[in-house]
């Protein structure tokens, strides 16, 4: 682990900005914080009682993975932490590097230590892009302290980083910046000498709009600001405003009036709101989770918001339709069986008309399911039955329920004793349907929501009538004047007649 700052003569800590960085570098690179006190946001990690702040105060860093969305400060924070403890800092990108680069970096770190230098912090950007073998190459040196690893990822490290490496590192979760933090970053960029040095200003409504569309991504906000400044310069016919204050304040050089990109320039530069959403990453799973939980929690307003967020971000609408189908059965269930009909209709509408028109159907189904009464009892009953199947296996079917297509099978007891419910009053008769070992099992217990009280009432009534009929010697057969017919035999006759008709029909 890197210790406290060594003597500068033996330190190889690198500057926070790459060598040669000047005013022509992107604004986001120019205004990176130079020390930890300038870092904005992530108070839970770098605030007064934050774990990373306390590590720095004790002069030591542990290997870690910084997990957070784009623009939340992962790269900057890694540099600042290394600089704060005086560590030698080396950075690799998993997109551009391989095992050979890792081994070369490790060899350099070992050589530097042998010469009495400071420990090395290896910052590995996009660590989730390293495969298992590449990640394994880091294990021995992280274990023995040759390097302190700081990995950065936008993906869930518990899925993308192997467990052996995670056991040697701490995971710190970075959140999107608060609007107030993004505003601080923007205001600093407009006034700091490394940014526009007071040469750019935004009207309150333009600043508020820029903060609002950034989605907590500081880099995106700075990039939009830089593009808006370029647009404003073209409109104004000048490029002076974007020059750093150090050049704008040269002796004899007039101080320009601050350039004020308009709200329209901000909108043009942004084109659309920056959506913090990745169809294959954490944003995808978090957003659909919020969507489902909002429907389950009877909040149509929140459900519509998350639906809109997914559609606007380019989520596959068929994925959304599938989730609605699942929610209709899992969470609404028999409290309102029409919920499944609405969800199926929305999925079919999507197939028929596609987007954008199918957004109406998706929204209608979302609102219906969110407002519907909820019951998960059918699902719970199914999984209880599945648990019995997994525990006991597929138990024998009772003899009277078995199929006996050949009459001689009845001599073996197959199909004997089955009572056809429609032959009895109320189309119900007491008989065993579950396997013998589970004869008294109850899986489905209706809730008191929506339609299920009526379902419960009917089931309870049927059970009571069966018990009463049993004590009275059996339920009476129905006396309804129905025609005497064997439907299966008749249907078989129809099939044979149709087949015979085809044979006799002349060809051509």
The pLDDT of residue 136 = 86
Question: Span 344-358, mean pLDDT?
Answer: 92
In this structure, what token pair is assigned to residue 232?
């404003």
List pLDDT tens digits, range 24-46. 788 988 999 988 888 999 999 99
User: Helix 179-191 vs helix 204-213: angle between axes, to the nearest 10 degrees?
Assistant: 120
pLDDT at residue 120 tops 70: yes
pLDDT at residue 243 tops 60: no
Q: How far apart are CA 107 and CA 113, in angstroms?
A: 10
List pLDDT tens digits, range 57-99. 888 899 999 998 888 899 999 999 999 988 889 999 888 888 8
Q: Could you tell me which residues are beta bridge partners of residue 286?
A: none
The pLDDT of residue 389 = 87
The pLDDT of residue 497 = 75
pLDDT at residue 19 tops 70: no
Question: Span 179-183, mean pLDDT?
Answer: 92
The pLDDT of residue 212 = 86
* Burial group, residue 280, by CB count within 10 angstroms (0-12, 13-18, 19+): exposed
pLDDT at residue 52 tops 70: yes
* CB within 8 Å of 135: residues ≥ 6 apart: 127, 161, 162, 164, 165
Q: Could you tell me which residues are beta bridge partners of residue 66?
A: 152, 172
The pLDDT of residue 471 = 60
Q: Where are the alpha helices (DSSP H) in 26-177?
A: 27-30, 43-46, 51-57, 74-84, 99-114, 132-136, 139-144, 157-160, 163-166
Q: How far apart are CA 77 and CA 81, in angstroms?
A: 6
Question: Span 220-230, mean pLDDT?
Answer: 92
Q: How far apart are CA 275 and CA 263, in angstroms?
A: 19
* Mean pLDDT score of the chain: 83
Model confidence at 482, in pLDDT bands (50, 70, 90)? low
Task: Name all contacts of 400-408 with Cβ < 8 Å and 24+ positions apart.
Answer: 400/431, 400/432, 401/433
Of 199-213, 418-432, 466-480, which one has max mean pLDDT? 199-213
Question: Span 438-467, mean pLDDT?
Answer: 88
Model confidence at 476, in pLDDT bands (50, 70, 90)? low
pLDDT at residue 16 tops 50: no
Residue with tokens 């310069």: 233
Residue with tokens 């150090």: 246
Q: Could you tell me which residues are beta bridge partners of residue 90?
A: 122
Share of the chain above pLDDT 90, in %: 29
Q: How far is CA 267 from the centre of its chain?
A: 28
Question: Span 420-439, mean pLDDT?
Answer: 85
pLDDT at residue 270 tops 80: yes
The pLDDT of residue 484 = 66
Do 69 and 283 form a contact (C-beta atoms < 8 A)? yes
The pLDDT of residue 433 = 86
pLDDT at residue 462 tops 50: yes
pLDDT at residue 12 tops 70: no
Question: Span 328-340, mean pLDDT?
Answer: 94
Question: Span 44-60, mean pLDDT?
Answer: 90
The pLDDT of residue 275 = 58
Q: Which of 55-59, 146-150, 249-253, 326-330 has the lowest mean pLDDT?
A: 249-253
Model confidence at 478, in pLDDT bands (50, 70, 90)? low
pLDDT at residue 463 tops 70: yes
Q: How far apart are CA 275 and CA 121, in angstroms?
A: 32
The pLDDT of residue 116 = 82
Do 251 and 281 form a contact (C-beta atoms < 8 A)? no
């Amino acid at each position: 682990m890197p210790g406290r700052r060594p003597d500068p003569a033996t330190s190889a800590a690198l500057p926070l900005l790459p060598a040669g960085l000047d005013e022509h570098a992107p604004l986001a690179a120019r205004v990176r914080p130079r020390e930890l006190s300038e870092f904005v946001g992530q108070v839970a990690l770098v605030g007064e009682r934050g774990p990373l702040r306390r590590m720095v105060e004790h002069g030591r860093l542990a290997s870690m993975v910084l997990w957070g969305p784009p623009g939340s400060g992962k790269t900057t924070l890694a540099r600042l932490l290394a600089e704060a403890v005086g560590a030698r800092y080396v950075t690799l990108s998993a997109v551009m590097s391989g095992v050979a680069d890792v081994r070369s970096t490790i060899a350099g770190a070992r050589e530097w230590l042998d010469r009495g230098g400071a420990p090395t912090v290896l910052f590995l950007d996009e660590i989730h892009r390293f495969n298992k073998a590449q990640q394994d190459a880091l294990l021995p040196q992280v274990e023995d302290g040759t390097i302190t690893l700081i990995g950065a990822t936008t993906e869930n490290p518990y899925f993308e980083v192997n467990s052996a490496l995670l056991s040697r590192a701490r995971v710190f979760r970075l959140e999107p910046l608060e609007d107030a933090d993004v505003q601080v970053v923007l205001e600093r960029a407009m006034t700091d000498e490394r940014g526009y040095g007071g040469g750019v200003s935004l009207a309150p409504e333009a600043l508020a709009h820029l903060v609002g569309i950034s989605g907590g991504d500081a880099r995106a906000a700075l990039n939009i600001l830089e593009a808006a400044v370029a647009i404003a310069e073209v409109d104004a016919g000048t490029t002076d405003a974007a020059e750093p204050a150090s050049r704008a304040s040269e002796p004899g050089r007039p101080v320009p009036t601050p350039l004020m990109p308009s709200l329209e320039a901000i909108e043009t530069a942004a084109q659309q709101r920056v959506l913090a959403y990745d169809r294959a990453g954490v944003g995808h799973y978090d957003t659909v989770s919020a969507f489902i939980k909002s429907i389950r929690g009877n909040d149509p307003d929140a459900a519509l918001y998350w639906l809109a967020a997914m559609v606007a971000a380019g989520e596959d609408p068929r994925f959304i339709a599938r989730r609605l189908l699942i929610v209709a059965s899992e969470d609404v269930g028999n409290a309102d069986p029409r919920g499944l009909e609405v969800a199926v209709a929305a999925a079919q509408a999507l197939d028929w008309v596609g987007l954008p028109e199918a957004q109406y159907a998706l929204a209608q189904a979302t609102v219906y399911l969110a407002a519907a009464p909820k019951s998960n009892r059918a699902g719970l009953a199914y999984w209880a039955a599945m648990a019995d199947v997994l525990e006991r296996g597929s138990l024998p079917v009772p003899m009277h329920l078995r199929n006996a297509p050949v009459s001689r099978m009845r001599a073996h007891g197959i199909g004997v004793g089955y009572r056809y419910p429609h032959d009895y009053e109320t189309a119900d008769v007491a008989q065993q349907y579950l396997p013998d070992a589970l004869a008294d099992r109850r899986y489905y217990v209706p809730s008191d929501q929506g339609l299920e009280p009526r379902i419960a009432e009917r089931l309870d009534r049927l059970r009571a009538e069966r018990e009463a009929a049993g004590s009275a010697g059996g339920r009476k057969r129905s006396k309804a004047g129905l025609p005497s017919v064997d439907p299966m035999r008749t249907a078989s006759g129809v099939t044979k007649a149709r087949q015979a008709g085809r044979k006799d029909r002349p060809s051509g």
